[in-house]
Amino acid sequence: MPPDATDRLATDVQFLKGIGPKLAMPLHKLGLRTVGDVLWHLPRRYEDRRNLPPINKARAGQAATVRGRIVGVSSRPTKGGKMIFKARLADATGEIALVWFNQPYVGKQMQKAYQDQVDIVAFGMVKEGARYELEMSSPEWETLDEDDDPDEFARLHPVYPLTEGVPQWVVRRAARAAVEFYAQDLVDPLPDDLRKKHKLQKLSWCMRQMHRPDSPEMQQEARRRLVFEEFLFLQVALQMRRQEVQQEVGISFPISQLAGVGQTSGNLFAALEEAHQGDLWEQVHAMLPFDLTGAQRRVVGEVWADMERPVPMNRLVQGDVGSGKTAVAACAMLAAVRCGYQAALMAPTEILAEQHFFNLSKLFAPVGINVKLLVGKQSASDKRKALQATESGEAQICVGTHAVIQEAVKFHKLGLAVVDEQHRFGVVQRMALRQKGFGNPDFLVMTATPIPRTLTMTLYGDLDLSVIDELPPGRKAIKTHWRQPYERPQVYAGVRKLVQEGRQAYFVCPMINESEKMQTQAAEDLYYRLKSQEYADLRVGLLHGQMKAAEKEAVMDSFRRHELDILVSTVVIEVGVDVPNASAMVVEDANRFGLAQLHQLRGRVGRGSTQSFCVLVADAKTPDVQKRMEVLRDTTDGFVIAEEDLKIRGPGDLAGTRQSGEIEFKIASLVDDGHMLEEARRAAIALLDADSALQQPGHALILERVRARRSDEALIVVS
């Protein structure tokens, strides 16, 4: 009997044609131990050797692949005792220098290539060296005599991810043999009808075109299918998680009954508003000193509808800075309390928790709802009282940091958990809060960090999404200016004028203390300079993360009460600080911050009815910095900014740590393949609508892959 295909893919790499035990060792260094490992070790780029340009066509500032022979090798020491190695590569049209810093083994290899007079192919970024000589610094390279089949030179050649000591030709040889003899053994997890519907090629064909492409177009066709497959497995996993949550028994809050209106298939808040009746309607208006925007009404209706359903709510409310997420959360907490349950709000920092406590206490005072604060810095007496009130039910709403999930905290009847700026919490912390609930509480997640749609579908595909896309009336768009460091005197004069008109201002610095390694503005240094020189006649305060909690709160209280005109701070004010009279912000060395962080900082002003300003002081020495400053200057739309930030920084940085949801794809890119993610999401929903448990024979491999993904990766789930 022929061996099973799965067994054949488990064949040790040493048995691949042309490999053997000796060449298997470097493959093992890459983690490639089986034929299957080699097939799924995909190229990171391709060299098009069908028509290589001559060396004299290489241009500084461009990446290039060149072919020639080594005509000279040299080395020289540096001041630190290291060595610089240089090899001159030449063809019939000219020369280019290949340069390596302190890599003696490369120097030996270049010397051998020079002695053997073999052709070299090198790839790298071309730059202008000394005496106008073109050079490549630390280029990728290989000698052509190591290629198994020199007749195949003029084609697309795969370039694989490597580790030190592993030659490119060894991986290339192994991949060629794996494709030739084993690609047909790959079992396609996608059924024929799904592939035909989405015009996808078979897996075996795609694997051949990824490792041995016949053309760039065919390689892209193969990659498209693999990207779709990777996105599909993720989206099926998230949608199955949604199904599981929908099958759990949760709390059914009788909001319609409480509001005095019947069940409605439309917006519950709109029905309540139209009826103008019921205790809940009156309390919403007594609680809120302003009218909700249309977007807030829509989102409150979505949240209340979720709360009425007998399954746990898992909803993400996404809104730009100043859009009014707190008011939406307050309406949800009001409904929970009036239905006989407690609510809890967890924030990532004490400053933000105290800000929420301050605001919610004011909102709920007219309707007689008791709000308690629980943070780490409280005195033993205050903490004991808060714990007793929470356990007895006297505290109808508890606001705090991660302190609310400590073992000592017990709730009387927790029915609604609200998490603000949830990307700062790990999965374990959210689970701990849910486990303190009465039965299976509802979960409302809020974030003021705009997230691109592709990232939202990836990180939060198992949550229902609400977007507050409308600012409250009367809010004016913040005017943002980008200024060079030499323009600081004019910036400082503009701030003084606003302060003289009765306004307040922030100065934000990237660091607390001066650093020898980083030439950047330090908060302490700027504070003393502004206080003693620039604004000696004004009231200047300092706030940073190394201050004690009591000191930080005292400074913030002084700023809120307008006992300070100017607050010099680090990014500790990034989230949650709300001072409507602060209408100016100067961000020093703005080039040290990311786009999303600058947008968050800018959101600390513009919270009142007067015109606010944000000035970014930055020396744009690179195109990347210039692009960031221009984006901030030209738009205040957080979602536009988030999309640009995704393009600049990539999804890993935006998502944060593994616990917070690091996104790892072998093939797909959220920046380049966002359209495929949407297509895969629709396919996943259709697949599960037809076969919710993936029990049909044709779906068995999809179920297997999804189970493996859910067990191996820390998917972002609220559970």
Please, what's the b/e burial string for 11-50 (b: 16 or more CB within 10 A of its CB; e: otherwise)? bebbebeebeeebbebbeebebbbbbbbbbbbbeeebebe
Domains, the chain, with CATH or none: 1-48+154-185 (no CATH), 52-150 (2.40.50.140), 216-247+667-712 (no CATH), 324-447 (3.40.50.300), 479-635 (3.40.50.300)
Per 3-state DSSP, the chain is made up of helix, strand and coil in percentages (nearest 5) of: 45, 20, 35
Give dist(CA 719, CA 245) in Å, integer.
8
Rounded to whole angstroms, the Cα distance separating 313 from 329 reads: 13
Beta strand ranges found along 266-361 (DSSP E): 314-319, 342-346
Count other Cβ atoms within 10 Å, centred on residue 536: 9
Mean per-residue pLDDT pooled into runs of 10, the chain (719 residues) = 65 93 92 95 87 87 88 86 89 92 85 89 85 85 63 76 84 94 93 95 96 94 96 89 80 80 60 60 84 89 91 86 86 94 88 86 92 86 91 94 81 90 56 74 82 71 82 80 93 95 93 57 87 94 85 87 93 72 93 84 83 91 84 85 74 42 71 85 92 90 83 43
Residues 6 or more apart in contact with residue 571 via CB below 8 angstroms:
508, 510, 593, 597, 601
Calpha distance 11→35 (Å, rounded)? 6
Total Cβ atoms within 10 A of residue 94: 15
What are phi and psi for residue 351, nearest 5 degrees? -60, -45
Dist. CA 462–CA 445, nearest whole Å: 12
Look at strands 140-143 and 95-101 and give their pairing.
unpaired
Q: What distance in Å separates the CA atoms of residue 218 and residue 203, rounded to the nearest whole number? A: 13
**Residue 682, Cβ neighbours under 10 Å: how many?**
11
Separation of first and last alpha carbons in the chain: 48
Cα separation, 186 vs 8, in Å, equals 10
Query: What is the chain's Cα-based Rg?
Result: 31
Residue written as token pair 């730009």: 320
DSSP letter string, 131-163? GG-EEEES-EEEEGGGSS-GGG-SSEEEE----
pLDDT at 480: 94
The answer to whether the CB of 412 falls within 8 A of the CB of 430 is no
Instruction: Tell me the angle at which helices 623-634 and 595-602 cross, rounded to the nearest 10 degrees.
Output: 30
**Lookup result for tokens 């999809």:** 702
Q: Are 557 and 567 in contact (CB under 8 A)?
A: no
> Could you give the CA distance from residue 125 to residue 122 in angstroms, rounded to a whole number?
10
Identify the H or E element spanning 68. strand 63-77
Give 308's contacts (C-beta < 8 A, 6+ positions apart).
252, 253, 254, 255, 256, 263, 268
CA–CA dist 431, 563 (Å, integer): 41
CA angle 540-545-548, nearest 5°? 85
Angstrom CA distances, 23 to 165, 166, 450, stand at 12, 9, 49
Of the candidates 523, 525, 615, 518, which has an alpha carbon nearest to the alpha carbon of residue 569? Answer: 523
**CB < 8 Å & 24+ apart, contacts of 426-434:** 426/657, 426/659, 426/660, 427/659, 427/714, 427/716, 427/717, 427/719, 428/659, 429/346, 429/402, 429/405, 430/718, 430/719, 431/719, 432/405, 433/344, 433/346, 433/404, 433/405, 434/718, 434/719
Q: Which residues are 442's β-sheet partners?
A: 416
- Residue environment code for 538-555, b if the CB has 16+ CB neighbours within 10 A, otherwise e: bbbbbbbeebeeeebbeb
pLDDT at residue number 401: 84
> What's the confidence (pLDDT) of residue 314?
86
DSSP summary character for residue 12: B
* Residue 585 CB burial class (10 angstroms; 0-12, 13-18, ≥19): buried
* SS3 at position 701: helix
User: What's residue 684's pLDDT?
Assistant: 93
Residue type, 73: V
**What does the block give as tokens for 227?**
């990207």
Angle, nearest 10°, between helix axes 216-247 and 700-712?
Answer: 80
Residue 497: what pLDDT? 95
